[in-house]
Chains A and B, each alone.
Chain A
Amino acid sequence: MDWQGQKLAEQLMQLMLVIFGVVAFITGYVLGSFQTMMLIYGAGVVLTSLIIVPNWPFFNRSHLKWLDPSEVEKHPKPQRSNFGPMKKASKK
């Protein structure tokens, strides 16, 4: 999954579980059946896990474009300067 996909997965998980929890509780309370509440919620958990746990293609839509290796060579890394030891001195 790419980053956007991960964010989507997390948001979808939270939203679906909360909605199923609320619907399950209200249905169970109105019908007077604890078992109904647990069944609806259990089904919701299973459904949510089927949607967000596997690595579905729609989680991979914003494909990250990594820098081409030939471009990397044109922009060398900055040299290590003497800032390190000076930092220690300023702490005193």
Chain B
Amino acid sequence: MHSFGYRANALLTFAITILALMCGIASFSDNFNSPSPTAQVQVLNINWFQKKPDGDDEVSLTLNVSANLESLFTWNTKQVFVFLAAEYETPKNSMNQVSLWDGIISSKEHSKFRIHTTNKYRFVDQGSNLRGKDFNLTLHWHVMPKTGKMFVDNIVMSGFRLPKAYR
């Protein structure tokens, strides 16, 4: 510690090490948060349901998505990325997961929401398996922290079925 530069370097290194420890403990403190989110989805309308020229089925839906994700936010949360996926099984794939809508919630105040929308992304099958298909609508979320570990979870809402014939 005999010179200005030496002391400045020692201080900076030690300060950053302590900062890293603080961030690690802050991330760890997220484990003490037990979230209790709720969600509900309604399919208001099947706008159209067709087989595309290349042979794949496509459907357009109008959805009503409402959720309360307030309990996911902690002091260490930067934003919550949420997306709604349609999940179903086909002979070719044991699990098909098609993202229909997503959004970014940047604060706790905006995390209790209700939106009325058509699907943001196209609901296209790999093939022609959607007629009369039972599917789940699952709301997934990624809680993105300011520092540390990201938490991922979802709510499965089942009981949806596509029409037996094209419209």
Contact = CB atoms under 8 A, between A and B. Distances in A.
Interface of A: 1, 6-7, 9-10, 13-14, 17-18, 21, 24-25, 28-29, 31-34, 37, 41, 45, 48-49, 52-55
Given A48-B11, A53-B7, A34 B1 contact: no
13 contacts: A13-B7, A14-B14, A17-B18, A25-B25, A29-B75, A31-B75, A34-B26, A34-B76, A34-B146, A41-B18, A52-B7, A53-B7, A53-B11
A45 B15 CA distance: 7
Nearest to B2: A6
Q: Which 8 A-B pairs have the closest CB atoms?
A: A6-B1, A32-B75, A21-B18, A45-B15, A53-B7, A34-B146, A9-B1, A25-B22
Question: Could you say which of B22, B26, B29 has the most chain A C-beta atoms within 10 Å of its C-beta?
Answer: B22
B7 A41 contact: no
Main secondary structure of the interface of B (DSSP, over half): helix
Contacts of B152: none
Interface in B99-150: 146-147
B11 A13 contact: yes
Contacts of A9: 1, 7
Q: Which of B1, B10, B76 has the most CB of A within 10 A?
A: B1
Interface in B1-56: 1-2, 4, 7-8, 10-11, 14-15, 18-19, 21-22, 25-26, 29
B21 A21 contact: yes
Interface residues of B, number: 20
Interface of B: 1-2, 4, 7-8, 10-11, 14-15, 18-19, 21-22, 25-26, 29, 75-76, 146-147
Contacts of A53: 4, 7-8, 11
Given A10-B10, A34-B26, A37-B26, A28 B4 contact: no
Nearest to A33: B75
Which of B8, B14, B147 has most chain A Cβ within 10 Å?
B14
Given A1-B1, A17-B18, 8 more contacts: A6-B1, A13-B11, A28-B26, A29-B26, A34-B75, A41-B19, A45-B15, A53-B7
